[in-house]
Amino acid sequence: MGEHGVIRRYRRFLPVSEDTPVISLNEGGTPLIEAPGIVSKLGGDFHLFVKYEGLNPTASFKDRGMTLAVSKAAERGARIVACASTGNTSASAAAYAARAGMRCLVLIPEGKIAYGKMAQALIHGAQTLEIRGNFDDALEIVRELGKREDVEVVNSINPYRIQGQKTASFEVCDALGEAPDMHFLPVGNAGNITAYWMGYKEYREGGNSSKLPRMMGWQAEGAAPIVLGAPVERPETVATAIRIGNPASWEHAVNAATESSGAIDMVSDEEILDAQRMLARTAGIFVEPASAAGIAGIVKSHSRGDIPNGSTVVVTVTGHGLKDPGVAVENSLAESTVVDADLDSVLAAIGLV
């Protein structure tokens, strides 16, 4: 099985020492699943692999960064882990704080969090405060809290978060034997595109791969400050995990796209929901709406002729579909049918009479 958890597995690439207590839930090691069905549906000629980060312990990619952030917080003796969150960060912070025996404080925008994520924060015992404001307001308060000695902020402004998240690009290279030609992923607070690019560069420098991918980041149209070139005062999108108007890692994300000859672009909510359905029905992979932004980006890029024939393309889907079951039920555009408890009724309902 190899070593469990990203700190143990990639220790030589991470800022840890023998003194760092490893707070882990065996995160990482998520599958890279080939999805030829999507390519043929699009009429494309490329190899597509889906990095399914929803299979991390708290069902999102955030666990990679959280294991490192909480381990380093424990090492310096912090007692409280705090974060502002649209959901996935709070779920992860709450679980890892529980594991470490630390208190967890979560600030979320009032009524703006998917039900599955709220359930996770609460069940892990985090103190959850809903503020009358948006994510950016919450992050501002958390930054202030972080000035206290006993509090560790575990949003992606915490540099250890990015360090942990970069391990996903190591895993992609390990699985493929080389870096891909293009890497698509959603962009919200922009920590992930920053982390992947850092990881790909470090892995190449370490002699573990010989090339670098073009980084293709995708924002939701109603929350696309990087694409628009200015903060969005009131971001709105069905993709709650990327409903962020002023990303913490804005500059780093732009650098990642520019340095890699990639791009940061946007997709509509309709394109995101179509992509969520297509991924579930064509590849058997169920993700939350924000995760489908990268898939929608592939559809858009392919339609523009931006994916060269024969390319190896990886897309990161960041969180499991059960994070936001309400949207999924609605977006299935289907409903169950009630029938009598006999074979003839069933056959009639499925058209096999």
Per DSSP, the residues of 313-341 read EEEEE-BBGGGSHHHHHHHTT-------S
- Structure tokens of 223? 């929350």
Domain, as residue range, for 121: 61-153
Q: Are residues 242 and 253 in the same domain?
A: yes
Are residues 132 and 109 part of one domain? yes
Contact (CB, 8 A) for 235 and 134: yes
The reply, when asked if residue 134 is annotated as ligand binding, is no
Count of the separate structural domains present in the chain: 2
Question: Given this model, what pLDDT does residue 1 score?
Answer: 44
* Domain end position, chosen among 153, 182, 217: 153
The verdict on residue 352 lying in a domain is: no
Shared-domain flag, residues 166 and 289: yes
Q: Is residue 340 part of a domain?
A: no
344: in domain: no
- Both 196 and 289 in one domain: the answer is yes
Q: Binding site annotation covers 190?
A: yes
Same domain assignment for residues 238 and 136: no
Is 199 inside any structural domain?
Answer: yes
Question: Which residue has 């903060």 as its token pair?
Answer: 231
On whether both 170 and 27 belong to a single domain, the answer is yes
User: Does residue 305 sit in the same domain as residue 274?
Assistant: yes
Listed residues 102, 132, 153: the one ending a domain: 153
Q: Please check whether residue 342 lies inside any domain of the structure.
A: no
* Claim to verify: residue 181 and residue 325 sit in the same structural domain: yes
**Residues 120 and 234 occupy one common structural domain:** no
85 belongs to a structural domain: yes
Give, for all 353 residues of the chain, the pLDDT tens digit.
457 999 999 999 999 999 999 999 999 999 999 999 999 999 999 999 999 999 999 999 999 999 999 999 999 999 999 999 878 999 999 999 999 999 999 998 887 777 888 899 999 999 999 999 888 899 899 999 999 999 999 998 899 999 999 999 999 999 999 999 999 999 998 989 999 999 999 999 999 999 999 999 999 999 999 999 999 999 999 998 898 999 988 999 999 999 999 999 999 999 999 999 999 999 999 999 999 999 999 999 999 999 999 999 999 999 999 998 888 999 999 989 999 999 999 999 999 97
| 253 within 8 A of 198, measured Cβ to Cβ | no
164 and 311 assigned to the same domain: yes
8 Å CB contact between 22 and 7 = yes
Whether 345 is covered by a domain: the verdict is: no
> Does 318 appear as a known binding residue?
yes
User: What's the confidence (pLDDT) of residue 55?
Assistant: 98
Residue 234 is assigned to a structural domain of this protein: yes
Structure token pair of residue 108: 């979320």
Rounded Cα distance, 83 and 230, in Å: 24
> Same domain for 197 and 284?
yes
111 marked as part of a ligand binding site: no
Q: String of b and e for 162-182 (b: at least 16 CB within 10 Å)?
A: bbbbbbbbbbbbbeeebbbbb
Q: What is the CATH number of the domain that holds 320?
A: 3.40.50.1100
My answer on whether 50 and 112 are in the same domain is: no
**Contact present, 74 and 97 (Cβ < 8 Å):** no
